[in-house]
Amino acid sequence: MFIPPNTASLKSEYAKKIGTYQYLISKIKTLLNEDLLTKEIKIISLTAREKKFDSFYKKIFRYEIEGDYFVKIDDLAGVRIVCVYLEEMEKIRNIIQKNFQIIREKHLNFDNRVDKTGYQSDHYIVKLKKESVTNADKFLHSDIGNCLCEIQVRTALMHSWSSVSHDLFYKKKLVESDFEREMYALSSLFFFADHQFDRYMKIKKAQTKKEKQIPNLEQPLNADSLSAYINYKFDERPEADDSSLIEMIEQLSALGYATLKDIDLIVEKSKSVLEIYEKDNPIRTQTAIKLDGVGALRICVALADYQNKDSSSFYVKDIQKYREFIND
């Protein structure tokens, strides 16, 4: 027979412990975000939440949980990653495995027989690795190394379906079996679309790789030629937006650059110094941890074209220091 907890004492214990889970969520988000940026994985959102007391209390009753509620309810802390492509879900799993101890994992998809709602997602119950728990962490929250967190990973399409199906199914017992079958069948279209998007992405990658051939350096400077050159010369960098590219062309033209060959002479002269500059002046934004192709080219011009006074408008901190490394 299920014996419900004393509400007042449970609420008091929850209030004492929830701060640790909030701290855990923040630490997990930081660890994930750093690796996601480093691997340049496209994500739509990285969100987190702690389970509110009312939800925590209702879950105990719904599943008639007894014993240590803070151990048996493993999603008191929750983090969700929504990515673009299926391929990225495996990369994210590797990041999770690298940073955390995976207690258990569950992969809900059509290959592993999803439930009647058609819900798809990867779920990981994790805790911090011992080496990730600092003395400061222990000082602030002595039990943080034992606390569990659920990390959910899904694509944008999976997330869209989850949002709709959650409203229709969650905590509701639907008796219309025909309706359930229709919803399940409809969810398979999302599954198919996810796989098709993944296939198109791989085709695009293959085409892009093929297009990254050595450009004809005798070409005149224009949007198409400069874009192809940057993709070839700075292929490991984030892609710049069109407005940055157009602005760069205007500035290069004003400096007297007419062909890709003119630009390539400057880049070859300063590319190694660019690496030194970036180590000394790292950037970190929500979407990147290094300069995009246009930004890298801008620094190269500022560093190497020092005989052209106009290039000083391409601001570089301590520019003279780095110009000393350039051999004419």
Q: What is the pLDDT of residue 26?
A: 96
How high does pLDDT run on average in the chain?
Answer: 85
Q: If pLDDT is split at 50, 70 and 90, which confidence band does 12 have? A: very high
Distance of alpha carbon 63 from alpha carbon 42, whole angstroms = 37
80-101 tens-digit pLDDT: 999 999 999 999 999 999 999 9
Domain boundaries, the chain: 7-194, 212-323
Percent over 70 (pLDDT), the chain: 86
Half-sphere exposure in the Cβ direction for 208 (13 Å, CA): 13
Cα 268 from Cα 297, distance rounded (Å): 11
pLDDT at 322 over 90: no
Q: What is the pLDDT of residue 211?
A: 61
Asked whether the beta carbons of 168 and 129 are under 8 A apart, the reply is: no
CB 86 within 8 A of CB 73: no
CATH superfamily of 7-194: Beta Polymerase, domain 2 (3.30.460.10)
pLDDT in tens, 110-161: 666 555 667 789 999 999 999 999 999 999 999 999 999 999 999 999 998 8
Query: Mean pLDDT throughout 220-230?
Result: 90
pLDDT at 255: 87
The residues pairing with 46 across neighbouring beta strands, listed in sequence order, are 81
Identity of residue 39:
K
Position 306 scores a pLDDT of: 65
